[in-house]
Amino acid sequence: MPVHAARGRRPDRAARIASLVLATCAAAAPLAAWPQAGAPAGRPAAAASGPASFEQRFAVCLACHGASGQSQTPLTPSLGGQPAFFAMTQLFLLRDGRRGEPVMIEQARGMSNDDLRAFADAISKLPPPRPPTDEADPLRFERGRALAVQHRCGVCHNPDFSGREQMPRLANQREDYLLKAMREFSSGKRLGYGAAMTQELSGLSDTDLTDLAHFFAHQPPANAAGR
């Protein structure tokens, strides 16, 4: 496993990002001010054809991320059930190109702070994703469960992995996306809102990450496992 060469600098950068995100949240107008249709607040009015409504803009997001919060697109996360604050922090990082893939950075680039807030709020109201239709491999599920207990992933992500505040929901997220995210934290490619994840995954092998992804993706609907 690669050594995290940049680790010494990481907490500094992370702290700077954290304060930027908090400043953005504080600066954003109350959500009630979001216009249901018409020009988004804080942006110049668009030309003759008229700006897209928020619903129309959100429909573009869901074309990739899945209607009803459940993604059918490879390597593209389900957004259903994600805490608003987590979505907000990630949109902030994506807008600045500090994480993510070009397709998504492009989506976030022009967003105003009010946009971040409105999309984060809309995301948090989508229903959580359902378990996948394929059965879990019992051996890999059990190995993943044991690792999650041993490394206390539930302390931050909640015992049922439903997420809270800046910590994402992991339960029933797409397995391919969970693995990609963990590999990127582990290699130092994905810069988080904080340094937590790179630290939490240090010492875990790629097989461990694969088993963890399998376990989180296959949570029962009640999310009762993994305590």
What does the binding site for ligand HEC look like in residue numbers (CB under 6 A)?
A: 57, 60-61, 63-65, 75-77, 79, 87, 89-91, 99-101, 103-104, 107, 119, 148, 151-153, 155-157, 166-168, 170, 173, 178, 180-182, 192-194, 196-197, 200, 212
List residues bridging with 164 in a β-sheet.
167
Nearer to ligand HEC, 4 or 57 (CB): 57
Q: How far is the CB of 51 from ligand HEC (least distance, A)?
A: 14
CB under 8 A, 24+ apart: contacts of 195-201:
195/7, 195/10, 195/11, 195/14, 196/156, 198/4, 198/7, 198/10, 200/151, 200/153, 200/156
Q: How far is the CB of 47 from ligand HEC (least distance, A)?
A: 20
Nearer to ligand HEC, 48 or 210 (CB): 210
Q: Rounded distance, CA 170 to CA 153, Å? A: 10
Give the amino acid at 131.
P
Nearer to ligand HEC, 40 or 100 (CB): 100
Given a contact cutoff of 8 angstroms between Cβ atoms, the answer to whether 126 and 192 are in contact is: no
Q: Rounded distance, CA 183 to CA 213, Å? A: 10
Q: How far is the CB of 112 from ligand HEC (least distance, A)?
A: 12
Q: How far is the CB of 30 from ligand HEC (least distance, A)?
A: 19
- What are the distances in angstroms from CA 152 to CA 38, 86, 156? 46, 19, 8
Nearer to ligand HEC, 11 or 50 (CB): 11
Nearer to ligand HEC, 8 or 48 (CB): 8
